[in-house]
Chain A
Amino acid sequence: MVEVNRRGFLIGAGLTAAAAVAGDEKVMDGGLAATSRPGVPTREVPLVPPGSGSLAEFSKRCVGCQLCVQQCPNLVLRPSTSLRRFMQPEMGFDRGYCRPECTRCGEVCPAGAIRRMKAEKKRLVHVGRAVWHRDRCIAAQEGVNCNACLWHCPAEAIKLVPMDEANPKSAKVPVVDAEKCLGCGACEHLCPARPMPAMTVEGLKEHRVDAPKSDRDVTKAADTKN
C-alpha cells in the first residue's frame, strides 16, 4: 500500500491537471514533434546475445571479428569499449531491440561464441531482466496514460498496476515478472521517457533457459500478440 499524505495527493492532482491542460493546448495543426533516441544506460552486467550461454563463456570464445555486429538487422549489437572485453559485442537498445524472430548473430558467429538456435528456442532463453525506474517513468511522474512497455513485451512479463492501490484510477505503472522477462529490450527501446528510458535491462551473468514447452504452447505464445 502506498501512503499518500495530503501534500502528496495535492501535488499528484496538480500534476494530473497540468498534464490534462497540456494535452488540450494544441493551438496549431500539423507538424511533427521532435524525436530523440533513448539513451543507453550503463549496465552492471553487460548484455550478450542469446546463444552465448554466459558472459564468462562468451568472453572466452569471442574473437571480436564483428561479423555479428555488422549483420545484426535490429542494430542491437555493438563492440564493447571496456578494456577487458574490447571489441567483443554487447547489446544496446537505442536503435532497436533483440527481436523474437531473429537468430542472425548465431548463424554468422564463426567462433562458436554465439550458438545457432531456432527462433522457437530463442523464446526460452533469458539473457537479462528489466528494471523499472520510478523517477523516470512518465506515468509515475506526469500521470500520462502510457502502456508502451506492456503492449510491446513479447514475453508478457509486464503488468500494469495503479500507483495507489486504494485508488484504481491513479496512474498505472509497470511491474516486471523477472521469471518471464527475456531481456530482449523491447521495453527499454520503446519506453517514451527521455533522455533515459524508465525501463532498462540488466544482464544475467548466467543465461537461463526454460524447459521447452510442447509445440502447441510455443506456437500459442507466439500468436498471443497477433
Chain B
Amino acid sequence: MNRRSFFSAIAVPRDESGAMTYRTGGNGPRTSLLGYGCMRLPTVEGSSAREAGDAKKIDQEEVNRHVDYAIAHGINYFDTAPVYCQGRSEAVIGEALARHPREKWLIATKLSNMSQSLRSFEASKKMYEQSFKFLRTDHIDYYLLHTVGQGGPAGFDDRFVKNGILDFLVKEREAGRIRNLGFSYHGDETGFRHALSYHERYHWDFAQIQLSYVDWRHGTETAKYNHVNAEILYNLLDGLNIPISVMAPTLGGRLAKFNYAISRCLSPLDPDATPASWAFRFAGSMPRVFTVLSGMTDIKFIKENVKTFSPLRPLGAKEFAALERAAKAYLGEDTIPCNSCDYCMPCPYGLDIPGILGCWNEAVADGRLPDNTSDPDYPAQRRCFLVEYERAMPPLRRADHCIGCGRCSPHCPQSIDIPASIRRVDSLVEKLRRNGRV
C-alpha cells in the first residue's frame, strides 16, 4: 500500500458508512433517496390497506413504528395523496409525522381532482386546504398535480388550467405554503410534452414519473403498456433540469417478488441481492432522480430497502446490461401489467380486480401458468392455480362476476383493458374447471 492509497482509505472509506444517500431535489433540504410511499399502509389485519377492503382499519400504531424507524434511519421523504387508502392515508401519516419535529420530514401530497365533481376551483381548493389539516402542517414541501396524462392534454387543461387552480397554486408557492410544485405522470409522450409546455409559465420544481428497468426502454413495447419509455421522459426532464421523483420502481411489487425469468439474468451477478434491490438500484442510479418511492407495507421491507440505499451502490455497465436482459425476459412473459394501485377500485359489482389479476401474475412469475395441457406439469399447475384462486377471493369477488361494464378501465394508470383481462382469467378458470376435478 502506498501513501496515497493509505490516506484515501482512511479519509474516505469507500462510503461504507451505512448512511442513507441524499440528493438535492428542488427547493429546501436534501431528500433521502429512498422515500416512504403512503399508498399501501398496513392494516390491523397485517395486510396492505389496498388488499383489505372497507371494514379493516389502518394500523396507526404500526404506521407510527414505520415512521419512527424510517426517520431514525435517514428517510425524510413521505409521499401521500388525498385519495390513497380510501381517503385515510393523509390523516394517518399526518398523525405519525406530527410526533417528530417538522424539520425531520418532508411531505409530498397531491391534488387528486380526477372525478368531474372535484374539478371546479372551489372543490380543488377545498381538497388542497384539507391536506394541510390532515397533515398538521403550515407548508407542503412537495405538491403534485395527481395522475397528469389521463384524459390527454385536454384533461390537463380541464383539471388545472381552465379552472384557475394552477394559478392559485403558483401564488401559494410564492407565499411559501408550497415549497415545490410539480406533477405525477401516467400517459403517453404527447400529454407529457403538453404538461412540460407549461414549464415557462408555471415552472415545475420537480416531476414524478414511473421508472423501472422494465419501463426504461420498454414502456411502449406491447399494446398492453400503451405508455412511453421512461427513458424518454427522463431525458426530457433532464434537458430542462427538472428534478425527478420515481414511483413504481418495482412495478407495484411485481419486480420485488421472485421471478424465475428475471433471476436467471441477475442472480449470477450477485446471488445475495434481492429482486427488489435491483429495481431500486436501477432507479437510484439515475443522477437526476432525487427520491425513489416505495410503498412498504411491512417493516421488513423498510429494513431491506434502507440497506439498499445506505448508501446506494450505483449500477455498473455490466449490471445495466443484465437488467436490460431481465426486462426483455420479463416482457417475454404473459404478465398483466397491474401494479395493484387500486385506482380502479371499488368495482361497483364487488370484484377484487387487483386480486384477480394478481393470481394470474403470480402464476406467471412462478412459471406455473397452466396454459398447456400437454405439459407434464399441467395437472399440478391446474390444481395449484385453482386452489390459489379460490383462496385469494370469496366467490362473489371472483372474475366470473364481471359484467363487462368497463367503468374501471378509464381509472387505470397502466391503461389496462381491465374487463378483457378479467375475462382472460375467467376463461382460464372455466377451462381448468371443465378439465376434471380439483
Contact = CB atoms under 8 A, between A and B. Distances in A.
A225 B430 contact: yes
B345 A27 contact: no
B345 A29 contact: yes
A101 B85 CA distance: 41
Given A35-B397, A147-B403, A28 B87 contact: yes
Interface in A33-73: 33-37
Interface in A112-154: 138, 144-148, 151-152
A226 B432 CA distance: 10
A222 interface: yes
Interface string A82-110: 00000000000001100111000000000
Interface string B354-388: 00000000000000000000000000000000000
B346 A32 contact: yes
A217 interface: no
Interface stretch (B49-57, B158-166, B185-193, B275-283): B49-57
Interface in B422-438: 423, 426-427, 430-431, 433-436
Interface in B45-89: 49-50, 53-54, 83-87
B151 to A, nearest CB: 11
Contacts of B260: none
Interface in A10-33: 21, 23-33
A151 B403 CA distance: 8
A96 B396 CA distance: 10
Nearest to A30: B342
Main secondary structure of the interface of A (DSSP, over half): loop
A95 B395 contact: yes
Nearest to B54: A31
A192 interface: yes
Contacts of A192: 349, 401, 403
Interface residues of A, number: 34
B135 interface: no
B256 interface: no
B30 interface: no
B53 A151 contact: no
Given A99-B433, A226-B427, A31 B404 contact: no
Given A24-B115, A29-B86, A99-B433, A148 B402 contact: yes
21 contacts: A21-B116, A25-B116, A26-B411, A29-B85, A29-B341, A29-B342, A30-B85, A30-B345, A32-B53, A32-B346, A32-B350, A33-B347, A33-B349, A35-B401, A36-B396, A138-B403, A144-B403, A145-B404, A145-B406, A146-B404, A148-B404
Q: What 6 A-B pairs have minimum CB-CB distances, sorted nearest first?
A: A35-B350, A30-B342, A35-B396, A32-B53, A148-B403, A146-B403
Interface of A: 21, 23-37, 95-96, 99-101, 138, 144-148, 151-152, 190, 192, 222, 225-226
